[in-house]
Structure 1
Amino acid sequence: MPRILDVLRLDAESDLSERAIARSLSLSPSTVGNILARAKEAGLTWPVPAHLDERKVESMLFPKATGIPKIRTEPDWSHLYQESKRKGVTLQLLWLEYKNLHPEGYQYSQFCERFNQWKKTQQLTLRQEHKAGDKLFIDYAGPTIPVIDVETGEIKEAQLFVATLGASNYTYVEAQWGQDLQSFINGHVRAFQYFDAVPELLVPDNLKAAVKQADRYEPGITRTYYELASHYGCAILPARPRKPKDKAKVESAVLLVERWILAVLRNRRFFRLGELNEGIRELLVRLNEKPFQKMEGSRKSLFESLDKPAMKPLPAKPYEFAVWKMARVNIDYHITIDYVHYSVPYTLVKQEVDVRMTEFVVEIYHHGKRVASHRKAHRKGQMVTEPAHRPKSHQKHMEWTPSRLIQLSKISFGLNRRLNRKQNSSK
């Protein structure tokens, strides 16, 4: 059961519903409900005790099932749905009434799961409402801006990263060389610095570009994106595919950026990415201070009075970009990452570990616990070994260095000479 600890964290530290938590973590709503229900029964709350890692929590909440499944009485979901719309009627109340009529019926988690599955088959429309400080919508503009290399004359196309707040429409824009993961993540970091605050939710457009990858280890939202959200204390709620209402805000912002920034810069020539971003920043200030046509104020004034007070403060340090990978420990108690070999405790031989790499550090985790940390090396084939990771026999063997053997040979030779002199003098 993946991301149990993330589910407990978001349920305790955010105002998200179970369905929103499920979308944020790429889980089904039934899974989130099941986790929270079992945690409540087990008396497990966030933060969990330090001695419990993801694996122990999973075994505690999801022991192996035994026995034969019972046949349950199926509720009248259509009737329950109509009842749920009445004021004060909750799903838990409907379940209690159902259990009174059918004691052998579904438990609460299964009841909620089946109810949600039934609702998926209905044609429902959700009207989007944006609370102050709630959502930040993220996307890339379609058109690009050419940047000329001064030395070679080569033209490179810069991508435009766009982030806009739901309530005030206050917008951040920057040029990047590509839509890779590092550019995408660092764009978020600089957007938070521009807002000088953090929203409750991040809403990327269908996990495009750097977020959605054909990755066996981390399909969907990458672990780096989750880590960014955890660092800033927010959650990720990706826009649903083929649901234009989910991303209407950022599409409108992209359209404005194309009209008020791209169109204005169309005849200017740029030779550095930094020069381009300086030009964008000047026009961005103008865009955010431009008065609304159908209401008083501007994006900036609305942001300062509405969004900013409701947003979270920035953490003490900005997020440092890190990439997560998975590796298997070789029989020499080393893992290989980017052609460099890093040691781990020898007890983890042949086991899989998670590897977190920043610009300078490589950290190795096993079941969520850090087991090794090394300074990042860049020379291919290099061995980075912590002596304490070796078994005792190997540590003793490594003590017999060439210099030590030479020293012992000299001592032995000296002792033999003195012994021979003593024997000759006695004769």
Structure 2
Amino acid sequence: QVVERWILARLRHRTFFSLAELNAAIAELLPQLNQRPFQGCRESRQDLYETLDRPALKPLPQDDYEYAEWRHAKPGIDNHVAVDKRFYSVPHALVGKPLELRITATTVEVMHKGKRVASHSRHGSGRFSTLTAHMPKSHQAHREWSPGRFLNWAADIGPCTAQVVKQQLENRPHPEHGYRACLGLLNLAKRYDRTRLEAACERALMIRSTRYHSIASILKQGLDQLPPEEEVGTQEELPLHGNVRGADYYH
């Protein structure tokens, strides 16, 4: 109300053609308002600011405010945490421990007990952001789960399952990047019998889509129990290629 009466009212008959021009006119009148004594007092707003407010003020932050989102996370045996379908490494000693993530538009920071233990660029190439120093050497979790153990487990189920697991572990900067998918297949083996998992892997290889989610979808839809000839007929109409997944991929 005070500003409306002492500043805006004095400008009401003027026409401004930009916000900057209006701000300049307000800035010219603002000192007069702040230096005008209060009614019945000698002090002005400027006087009280100098004696009360300014001594209590702290300097403005050097950096602009950056919005951050906080989340809780627990890294798996591959010592990565997931953020929006991408994975970021943490020190292997923190596998299985509760962590906090500070997520900004450009950075993912990992906190343990209030201390930052890892920092990654949020948007990068590939799904994994892995620091070599975070990867285990002789850590117990690494000894317990290894590519060899996954391959032996898969071969015990069947050749198609072994081939799927092999593809999950190959062509990656670190074999641990495929551990999540392999553990997912291990869990599928607990939910479905071994014969169905082998059949699902066979169908996944046939449609050139060996991702965990594709195999899980095949089992959920019961496509592994259909005769293979039904899919071969549709696949033969198209050239065999890694990007041609077949209709079952989209169920």
Alignment TM-score > 0.5, same fold:
no
> Which protein shows a greater Rg?
2
Higher helix share: 2
TM-score (norm 2): 0.41
Of the two structures, which has the highest relative contact order with CA contacts closer than 8 Å and spacing of 6 or more?
1
TM-score (norm 1): 0.27
